Amino acid sequence: MKTGKPNGRPKAIIDYKLVDKLCGIQCTGEEIASVLSIDYDTLNARIKEDHKMGFSDYFKKHSGSGKASLRRNQFNLSKTNAAMCIWLGKQYLGQKDTIEEESNNSLKID
C-alpha cells in the first residue's frame, strides 16, 4: 500500500558551479565529493543522471579552464623566475640539458 511518501533518502543537491570550479583546480572526484559532503559514488551517479556521462568525462570537459589558468600563471612567473623559464623551455620548446664530455685519452687496440 502506497502512502504517497517517497522512499529512501532525498537526493543530494549538487552545486555544479562549485563542481566545475573544483574540476578547474584539478581536484579529484573524491575531493569534490568530500567538499559536497557526499560519497564519490553518489557524485558519479548524479553526474550520469544529470549530464549523461561519468565523472571522468565530466572532469575532462571542465578541467581545461584550470589548466589554461595555470599555464598563464607559469608563463607570467617565468619572467622573474629562471627555473620556471628553463622548465617551460624543456616542456614546450624541446630544450634539454646536455653534458658534453671530452676525453683526451686515446686507446689503440692491436
Q: Which residues lie closer than 8 Å to 65 by C-beta, 6 or more apart?
A: 24
pLDDT of the residue at 92: 77
CA angle centred on 103, ends 97 and 106, rounded to 5°: 155
State pLDDT tens for residues 12-36.
889 999 999 999 988 999 999 999 9
pLDDT at residue 2 tops 70: no
Q: Residue 73 in contact with residue 80, Cβ under 8 Å?
A: no
State pLDDT tens for residues 47-98.
999 999 999 999 999 988 888 887 888 888 888 988 888 887 888 788 888 8
Q: Is the pTM of this model over 0.95?
A: no
pLDDT of the residue at 64: 85
In the block, cell 583546480 appears at 25
Q: Which residues lie closer than 8 Å to 15 by C-beta, 6 or more apart?
A: 36
Q: Which three cell numbers stand for residue 38?
A: 557526499
